[in-house]
Structure 1
Amino acid sequence: MRWRIDAFLKGVERYRHHPYQRDIEDAPTVWQEGATRLLEMGARGRPVLFVPSLINRGYILDLSWRKSLLRWLAGEGGGDSEGGGGIRPFLLEWGYPQAAERGFTMSDVVAGRLVRALEVTCARVGGPVTLAGYCMGGLLALGAALRRPDLVSAYVAMAAPWDFHADDAAAAQRTAALVTPFDPVMRLLGELPVDGVQTLFATLDPLLALKKFSRFGTMDMAGDEADDFVALEDWLNDGVSLPAAIARECLTGWYGENTPGRGEWRIADMPVRPQSLACPSLVIVPARDRIVPPAAARALGTALPGATVWQPSLGHIGMIVSGGAKARIWAPLRDWLLHPPAGPEG
């Protein structure tokens, strides 16, 4: 046991002193409201608005020069290969909640902030766009697409949970129960702080930190693999707090009561029902996902009429930045975005 602890501490110490810093800057901001910014990457191509989770920074999709899905789609390449091209990506960066945003509900985020960003994006490109959501962002994007179908030409869900009880209802309800010990903090601060969010993730795999830092300690600190590890770990540690009302809706409503899977989740009094989406849709379900159980994400593919469903043997974050992501996700996604199939009414 002692050698395991030593290996872990060695990895942590090497991470703390590693010189890597993010080697790219954010794309230009073309619109901002409060803490939320709309970033535009590329001047031509089929427009796609990417919507990340509220609890992590959006730059996981633009992590580094070698590991940027968005820059590759825009044709800007990275590393030792040329970019895919043909896509004009926009990224919604939620930012850190400011004082007023700590009072936001999910309806404020989706029917307000996200829909307005969608309107701005469509005005810039002169027509509807594809709306792509990653993780929790997939649910937010679906809510916006159903409210403004005139602005959405296609929809993509990437590792997005839908039926929270499909895999293990008891485990989901245990997650929901964590709202109780955090409630006094949320009442005091108006938000679930970053440490609370990190605690929720830690319960999914309590030994993850031990395993990953022990492995990092064995890497060549001057190599690309170590740089990639630090880039990802820095992103993971750059978390975002969650407004209290939204945290309660996610924990009690989504995990506890399974409101999306039961058809009872509502945004501004409108039910969010994927069966009503008429545009082409793609659902990507990472088969090795430990954050969103694959069964929870597959349920969205079943509910969306005529959806294309992919089940790559990748993990939740690996589908975006792993060594196999370019061949198994980036390139097929680029092709689908350029030539989406006809929608259910096509």
Structure 2
Amino acid sequence: MAQSESTTLSLRTPRDASGDTGRSGDKRPRPLAPVMATRRDEEPEPDAISDETAPDSPEASPFAIWDQRVHAAIARLTAGISPASILQAYGDWWLHLMLSPGKQSELGYEGQYQLARLAAYLPHAMLEHDGGLCIEPLEQDHRFDHPAWRQWPFNLLHQSFLLNQQWWQDAMTGVPGVTKHNERVVDFITRQLLDIVSPANSPLTNPRVLSKTVDQGGLNLVNGAIHAWEDAARIAAHHPPAGAEQYIPGKTVAITPGKVIYRNQLMELIQYSPATDKVQAEPLLIVPAWIMKYYILDLSPHNSLVRWLVEKGHTVFIISWKNPGKAERDCGLEEYRKLGIMEALEAVESIVPSQRIHAVGYCLGGTLLSMTAAAMARARDDRLATLTLFASITDFAKPGELELFIDESQVHFLEDAMRQQGYLEDWQMKGVFQLLQSEDLIWSRVVSEYLMGERVPTFDLMAWSTDGTRMPYRMHSQYLRHLYLGNELALGRYRVDDHPVRLGDIKLPAFIVATRKDHISPWRSVYRNQQHLDGNITFVLTSGGHNAGVVSEPGHRKRVYQIADKPREAHLTNPETWRAEVPEREGSWWPEWEAWLGEHSTGRIDPPSMGNVDKGYPPLKEAPGGYVLER
């Protein structure tokens, strides 16, 4: 029976910063999540989602093949973004704007008002040492923070740009009749176009660049041109960016001792060597996303989550996915589930018999793990002890800005682009992710490296992000159609072994981590996982983005997080209430998770053997294995 808001909730046993259970005096108790009776979102019945994954065949129409090849050629020029989808959105906006004289008049009035504001600001900008501002940048906009932007004429330049940007924001939104999806598309694309003409991104209008150009006699622009030429040459030769070559898996990163104890056509399974005399009885199986190399969780020794877990006395297994090529074009989600998670579970069970397994999924790996856990629950397979999800989405009703690139037109275009080569190139995915954070990932680098002439130092996480992987044709098509467009997993319509699976069948204790600045798995979407899982849940919201928020080792400066428990019987509050009411803590969330794992473990035992020759899992190779080195 659901609890009401008046239900009395007791505080959990607190923990200290070291990750111990804190039974003797931690003064920071972890609260239960705010409780609010809320109705589960009602989703409309979707149209039937077709599985458009058939490759070219002799029976295919030559006209259809012609279309596919044209689309593939266009995709190479557009980073896989469908021009038809963009034009459709702008057409929707433009036609409705032309039919809305009231909106046109409003925009005309706002344009005159902006000009009047700028005219009133002009004498202050010219005559005063710091003329103040007539419009404040958005909270997340730091392009004009430097004091030089307050001086004439740069104050007028950046203020007129911000007023112009505000006008376009009003023009792109609020036009009667435009669909919400198309409105968000035109607003997003227009913002990207405006960034191109931002005074911060031009050497002629950026005061910092001009000052440095004068001081160095233009040497910064020469160095910037050299950097741009080097980067272009590296991209053309498919070489990693400057500085990334010093981070090599097995030599400088991914160096936690371990062995590959199983390999098939889609993955290698790595078992890490024990670092303690006794280990927790229940092993961990980590399922990373195959959109990225697994060693995001085993970077340098100081920030390796894998090494940290091993040193805390856990037996850790991790899947290292193969970088797919044309031979894997027809590998779908079901192949990844069976050849990946299910075969990994068989291996772990053979090496650590009679023990249940802590299952951990990251990003897309967490989505696949949730499907698997639901199918296992339906089959009464009780091998899992707990479920942990890092920045993973199971409900795609509100997936954030990434959905701007996913509609029927875009998915069909991507399918044509992938058909011929059998996979989606890693640079096409990177291009979309960079657009989502264009200020941080594109323009700040342009200014620093090409205009200021200063190379941004490469560190391990940055080098890892350039070590991309491809996406198999069939899997990616299924992922976009069945999960993003159809939202079938959240609606209980996704089929495993020809039967639908329900996330509500998962009654395992769950630990869910979301990151505040995540543009790939927005934290509010990750928060919705609690609406579907049917066990006791601990939810963590941490500072940082999709990667940096997860790689948040103890001792990392300026890290904060919020954490609260939601008992199975409690209703889920809305995310804004949760964030406002749950207290913030300083430091890393890792100790909280490690203590939570301890609470759901049965004690310590002798470390298991490395692999199990008798059961067919002999050590094959030293970690990090071979698949991680494929480019």
TM-score by length of structure 1 reads: 0.83
Match of 1:78 in 2: none
When structure 1 is superposed on structure 2, of 95-104 and 108-117 the one drifting more is: 95-104
Q: 1:119 to 1:18 in 2, by over 3 A?
A: closer
Q: How far 1:65 sits from its partner (Å)? A: 1.7
Structure-1 residue corresponding to 2:359:
131
1:308-319 paired onto structure 2 within 5 Å? 308-319=538-549
Q: 1:55 aligns with which of 291, 294, 303?
A: 291
Aligned match of 2:340 in 92, 113, 118?
Answer: 113
Unaligned runs of 5+ residues in structure 1 are: 76-84
1:277 shift after superposition: 0.9
CA RMSD of aligned residues (A): 3.1
Question: Partner amino acid for 1:104?
Answer: C
Does the aligned pair in 2 maintain the 1:165–1:172 contact within 8 Å?
no
1:319 & 1:50 partners in 2: Cα distance? 17
Alignment of 1:13-92 (within 5 A): 16-17=242-243, 20-22=246-248, 23-25=252-254, 27-43=258-274, 44-45=279-280, 46-75=282-311, 85-92=312-319
> 1:339 aligned to 590, 594, 599, which one?
599
Letter of the aligned partner of 2:546 in structure 1? H
* Shift in Å, 1:317: 0.8
Question: What's the secondary structure of 1:282's corresponding residue?
Answer: strand
Aligned to 2:590: 330
Task: Indicate the SS of the match to 2:300.
Answer: coil
CA contact (8 A) 1:8 1:211 kept: no
Aligned sequence identity (%): 23
1:178 aligns with 2:410: yes
Is 1:251 paired with 2:480?
Answer: yes
Cα distance, 1:110 vs. partner?
0.7
Cα–Cα, structure 1 residues 206 and 175, in superposed 2: closer, same or farther, change >3 Å? farther
What SS does the corresponding residue of 2:436 show, helix, strand or coil? coil
Separation in 2, partners of 1:210, 1:56: 20
Q: What letter corresponds to residue 290 of structure 1 in structure 2?
A: H
- 1:21 maps to amino acid: Y
- CA–CA distance in structure 2, aligned partners of residues 187 and 338 of structure 1: 47
What is the CA deviation profile of residues 214-273 of structure 1, one whole-angstrom value per residue up to 9, with x for unaligned ones? 69769x98xxx94xx432222112111111111112222222222223222223323332
Would the aligned equivalents of 2:424 and 2:473 in 1 still touch at CA under 8 Å?
A: yes
Picking from 249, 270, 276, the partner of 2:499 is 270
Partner Cα separation in structure 2 for residue 140 and residue 8 of structure 1:
43
Contact 1:50 1:92 in 2 (8 A): yes
> Match for 2:461 among 215, 222, 232?
232
Whether 1:198 aligns to 2:425 is no
- The alpha-carbon distance between structure 1 residues 184 and 132, as it changes in their structure 2 partners (threshold 3 A), is same
Say if 1:235 and 1:16 are closer, same or farther in 2 by CA, change over 3 A. same
Partner of 2:575: none
1:331–1:99 distance in 2 versus 1, CA, 3 Å: same
For residue 79 of structure 1, what is the aligned residue in structure 2?
A: none
What corresponds to 1:2 in structure 2? 202
Native 8 Å contact 2:262 2:347 kept in 1:
yes
SS class of match (2:387): strand
The one of 550, 569, 581 equivalent to 1:320 is 550
Between the aligned partners of 1:206 and 1:71, the Cα distance in structure 2 is 33
* Aligned partners of 2:357 and 2:384 also within 8 Å: yes
> For 2:369 and 2:468, how far apart are their aligned partners in 1?
20
Corresponding pairs, count: 327
In the TM superposition, residue 209 of structure 1 has moved relative to its aligned partner by 2.1
Between the aligned partners of 1:137 and 1:9, the Cα distance in structure 2 is 40
Please give the alpha-carbon distance, in whole angstroms, between the structure 2 residues aligned to 1:19 and 1:215: 23
Unpaired runs of 5+ residues, structure 2, are 1-200, 210-220, 232-240, 561-585, 603-631
Q: Report which stretch shifted further, 23-32 or 233-242.
A: 23-32
Distance in 2 (CA, whole Å) between partners of 1:341 and 1:333 is: 12
Tell me by how many angstroms 1:35 deviates: 4.0
Amino acid at match of 2:398: A
